[in-house]
Amino acid sequence: MPEGPEIRRAADALSDAIAGLSIDHVRLPYHRLRPFGPRFRGQRITTFRTHGKALLTNFDNGWTIYSHNQLYGLWQVARPNDPLLPGRALRLELGHQDRCIRLYSATDISLWRTQNVAQHPFLSRLGPDILDPILTPETLVARLQSTRFQNQSLGKLYLDQRFLAGVGNYLRSEILFRAGVNGLCKPNQLNLKRLVRLARQTL
């Protein structure tokens, strides 16, 4: 499953391709989005925002497409006449003149009012995003020391999206290795110096 950094790179590529441009063609094969085509035509995508492994496509008319790639979802920047990727199901295509973005194979896709999207059942349970620039080592140490998380093994905790969003297996392994801690350890078994080192290696 793609982790937070991969989703952020995808968001950056999508933004470079089409953000700020008026959408002049729409394909919505996915049944949950199909009725909403008129809401996208003529609108501009203002931002592509990520939280953990979720990607939020924000439009200037106050609507947001929530998507989660899960295991098989894939975003692509293409030209409208480019053939579809083989072996994948197109979920949506949004284009401007000679460029478009496509989402394939994801099944967790929905449309939300931008002001309400934080209430999405997945987003509402997430902890802070590992790539959030305002997240500090001090904040992370405080979470590690909290009664909610201090008694969980680090190997399990770093996969818990409620603790920290966007971390998967490979990031967890790299963080724990660089911090020099065993995944079986719990935060309450580490002194402050080691917790600070873990937090800094995380960010």
- 117 and 158 share one domain: no
Kind of pairing between the strands at 108-113 and 54-59: unpaired
**Within a domain: 130:** no
- 31 and 119 share one domain: yes
Name residues of the chain where pLDDT drops below 50.
none
- Residue 167's pLDDT is 87
List phi, psi (to 5°) of 179.
Answer: -80, -10
- Residue 56's pLDDT is 95
Cα distance between residue 131 and residue 154, in whole Å: 19
What are the start-end ranges of the E strands in the chain? 25-27, 45-51, 54-59, 63-68, 74-78, 90-96, 99-104, 108-113
Host domain of residue 91:
4-125
Cα distance between residue 60 and residue 42, in whole Å: 10
Question: Of the residues 125, 153, 177, which one is the last residue of a structural domain?
Answer: 125
* CATH number of the domain where residue 88 is located: 3.20.190.10
**Within a domain: 100:** yes
**Within a domain: 41:** yes
Kind of pairing between the strands at 63-68 and 74-78: unpaired
- 93 and 59 share one domain: yes
Which tokens hold the place of 194?
């080691």
Cβ partners under 8 Å of residue 198, min gap 6: 144, 154, 175, 176, 179, 181, 190
Cβ partners under 8 Å of residue 84, min gap 6: 90, 102, 104
Which tokens hold the place of 6?
């991969």
- 87 and 148 share one domain: no
79 neighbors 99 (Cβ within 8 angstroms):
yes
**pLDDT digit string (tens) for 92-139?**
999 999 999 999 999 899 999 999 998 998 888 889 888 888 889 999
Cα distance between residue 166 and residue 146, in whole Å: 20
* CATH number of the domain where residue 197 is located: 1.10.8.50
**Within a domain: 47:** yes
- Residue 2's pLDDT is 62
- 78 and 26 share one domain: yes
- Residue 3's pLDDT is 65
**Within a domain: 64:** yes
What are the start-end ranges of the E strands in 134-177? none
Question: Of the residues 88, 103, 125, which one is the last residue of a structural domain?
Answer: 125
- Residue 71's pLDDT is 79
Question: DSSP code of 23?
Answer: P
- 83 and 170 share one domain: no
**Within a domain: 98:** yes
Instruction: Provide the domain count of the chain.
Output: 2
